[in-house]
A and B are shown apart, each in its own frame.
Chain A
Amino acid sequence: MPETTPLPGQERFLAPLDETPLQETGALDTSSPPESQWKEAWKELRRNWLFWVSGAMILLVAVVVIAPGLFTNLDPSYADLSKSLDPGSSGHIAGYDKQGYDVFARMIYGARASVLVGVLTTILIVVVGLITGAVAGFYGGWVDSVISRIADIFFAIPLLLGALVGLSVINNLFPDRGEFGGIVAVVIALGVFGWPQITRITRGQVLQVKNMEFIDAARAIGATKRSNLLRHVIPNSLPPVIVTATVSLGILIVAEATLSFLGIGLPPGVVSWGNDINAAQNQIRSGQRIGVMFWPAGALAFTALGFILLGDAVSDALNPKRRTE
């Protein structure tokens, strides 16, 4: 860690002893060994009602994804064009869309592709972004420069171009890729251009956290650089990353709809919320059966809400300052 002269204003935060209560940093290191950081977060989490509500919501979505047949016995890919935009009858509570598909069945079966796109892409960008961001922020120097500049490059590529090429490359590799291949293609297209956001947020957070008093204290009692990074810096940098990731999840599911709008989303045979929201958008102007859009958009909002609430609960639990209360 190359030391330089402190920037102006730095003394203000470091100097007065009464503003940096050493007894507290000390307490953190003695009474709670590093491993218990996660355990303690879990304890905190269990006490939070938000966690249980959001958990239940996500569980429900997960059940729909795994076993859609439990919720409807209709075939989501059977369309009767003569029933186009029919408001529906008994057994068809949400009516039919423009193509004559059953809207409710499409909502249930659309969960799989949409949630997979959202979750897989989020996992991809968080894993890549967290690692690169933490390394860049913690080690600094040329490592930081290289990672940050690569992130800049990927940041700058328009999603559309990335998606076009990503989808085309997958097309060439797996001409008959089927439903899952189509999802993977969209995940790659969205993920390749999404990770730099997480990288930058993590890096910014790590830069801040690594200079905090308790990290200095941990180093003072002999913690190695790597254990410092893994046990203290990363966990304490997580809250904004988690918030960004959980917000991203919903946005990524919607991004799939935008890709469809631009004509390059999931293949037409795949049932997904994005495809259906896009298909219904023409009805905004004419006002015919706007409800057709309500179902997939509502399901999307429900899923997004579940993950955002979970993100809030987890970031609360991980907040080191909170736990000292």
Chain B
Amino acid sequence: MIAAASLTLAACGGGSDSEGGGSGGTSDAVITSFSTQPQNPLIPTNTNEVGGGNIVDLIFAGLISYKTDGSSENEVADSITSDDNKLWTVKIKSGWKFSDGTDVTANSFVDAWNYGADAANEQLSAYFFYPIAGTDDEGTIPDGGKTISGLKVVDDSTFTIELKQSESDFPSRLGYSAFFPLPASAFDDMDAFGKKPIGNGPYDFASMTDNVEAVLTPSKTYEGVRPAKNGGVTLKFYENPDTAFSDVQAGNLDVLDQVPPSALTTYKDDSSIQAFSEPGSPNSTITIPESLPGFEKGEEGNLRRQAISKAINREEITDKIFDGSRIPSTDFSSPLMPGFTEDIEGQDVLDFDAAGAKDLWAQADAIKPFEGKFVVAYNADGPGNKEWVEALTNQLKNNLGINAEPKAFPTFAELRTEVTDRTIGTAFRTGWQPDYPSIYNYIAPIFGTGAGSNDGDYSNKDLDALLQQASGAQDDTERYKLYADAQAILFKDLPAIPLWNTSISAAAADGVKNVKFNWQNKPELQDITK
């Protein structure tokens, strides 16, 4: 204890003699960045978690790519056009090559997507193909088929995509890793490919040592919009961001995109590192299933949902528990999304109002008294979950005078199993990290009737209609207006209660330059130099 106390009195002196890279300032220095051990083979359609995603995003290039601000631009695609927003024609630029020297053609995309949607190949991201005609609701090809009927190769540089229904912003999805192309050699031995993938991105996959690191070297053939400005990227695998933060302080690690909770209060004043703090895209919500007693569809349930939302002092939790690394939500998406607005009807339900909340709860009790307690379930293997759920239930206890408590599930697997099996029987924490930068992605997959991630079984015909309309809308202003209308419905029904958005809280070692973070809270590693 004594040692700990005196430590904090000592000035922050470390970090001045960084032994990281000898060639500071030049552009051929290798950049090291925080990552985690990939959990699946490195096939784009099978990579759905951060560790693998960090590698795949750097070694592949898709039809489009996302800029730092979340807007998109064509990368491999020369054009993606449609007359009716339903049948899309994709033209590919000539001259693109995989790192094994073979050309990137229309078949590179179509074959890769067919592979990903073939259930026999057990690809975890098959879901992303569901808008395309010839797939089922889960994105796989029905009846053991091998090809998606909605995909047609016209010639080497052209193919068409037929959708199930018109979707005007469909192209903006095509930068997600599930839509990356694969070289012909991949299909000969996909197991071997998953261990040593060959891509068309700004970096080549050089090697990977399990639980240690993945080494990526700049591609010699890449000529896209994200060229490597450094001598390579080494992704170091950590089990614990605390450890990684210490490494940044000592100059052993260049970039860490998630400062651990233990360092949040102090990292901005730490002279041994560069600190970054910006608004981010992931959000946190509490989903209250309609099957929960007292929260059923109808006036009583609605009053209780409003009461819960108003009884939460978001500002206090983001300030005291998260040290400002979260920003209270003002809608169901994120301020980073194109079309974000603070002007949505019913938004005031997110404002803290203890007296008003108590009043609403009393009105609900007048309809039917509330029995039992309000429980919020979380997975204990997610860092920081316990702290905020505990703080939140304490606020509900104090402000509503009800019995509220957290419930811990040891692992994510356990929580998700109960959630997807609908056996959970309590409110539970949910979070969303967008797959592509669009407000639509925060609403349709979660709150659309029967949608894949609609864990609370919410259903509202008006919302479904608005989403459908937005998909067909021709220009952005109209679309954004429809998103706002859709969110107004959500604010009325509150199927989930928005809490906050996760900010970018990142650290870089001294002397590392050009560090920028994108709409996914990820560093633009190809631009970083030192």
Contact = CB atoms under 8 A, between A and B. Distances in A.
B478 interface: no
Contacts, number: 84
Contacts of B414: 168
A161 to B, nearest CB: 11
Contacts of B153: none
B405 A164 contact: no
Contacts of B320: 81-82, 84-85, 98, 100
Interface stretch (A223-231, A279-287, A303-311): A279-287
Contacts of B405: 268-269
A81 B317 contact: yes
Given A81-B320, A99-B391, A290-B4, A263 B408 contact: yes
B406 to A, nearest CB: 4
Sorting the interface of chain B by its residue count into under 10, 10 to 19, 20 to 34 or 35 or more gives 35 or more
Nearest to B10: A287
Contact of A287 (B4, B242, B406): B4
Contacts of B394: 79, 81, 99-100
Interface hub of A82, A84, A263, A286 (most chain B Cβ within 10 A): A263
A33 to B, nearest CB: 51
A100 B397 CA distance: 14
Interface stretch (B103-111, B259-267, B509-517): B259-267
B338 interface: no
Contacts of B262: 281-286
B225 interface: no
A286 B266 contact: yes
B390 interface: yes
Nearest to A297: B1
A264 B380 contact: yes
Contacts of B391: 79, 81, 99
B191 interface: no
Contact of B261 (A282, A287, A288, A293): A282
A285 B266 contact: yes
Contacts of B93: none
Contacts of B411: 164, 263
Contact of B5 (A99, A268, A269, A287): A287
Contacts of A263: 379-381, 386, 408, 410-411
Interface in B312-331: 313, 316-317, 320-321
Nearest to B384: A282
A80 interface: yes
A81 B316 contact: yes
B389 interface: yes
Interface in A79-128: 79-82, 84-85, 98-100
A80 B397 CA distance: 10
Contacts of B398: 78-80
A154 interface: no
Interface string B4-48: 110110000000000000000000000000000000000000000
A283 B8 CA distance: 11
Given A82-B316, A282-B262, 10 more contacts: A81-B313, A84-B320, A99-B394, A268-B407, A282-B261, A287-B4, A287-B5, A287-B8, A290-B8, A293-B1
Name the 7 nearest CB pairs between A and B, nearest first: A287-B8, A263-B380, A84-B320, A282-B262, A285-B262, A79-B394, A286-B265
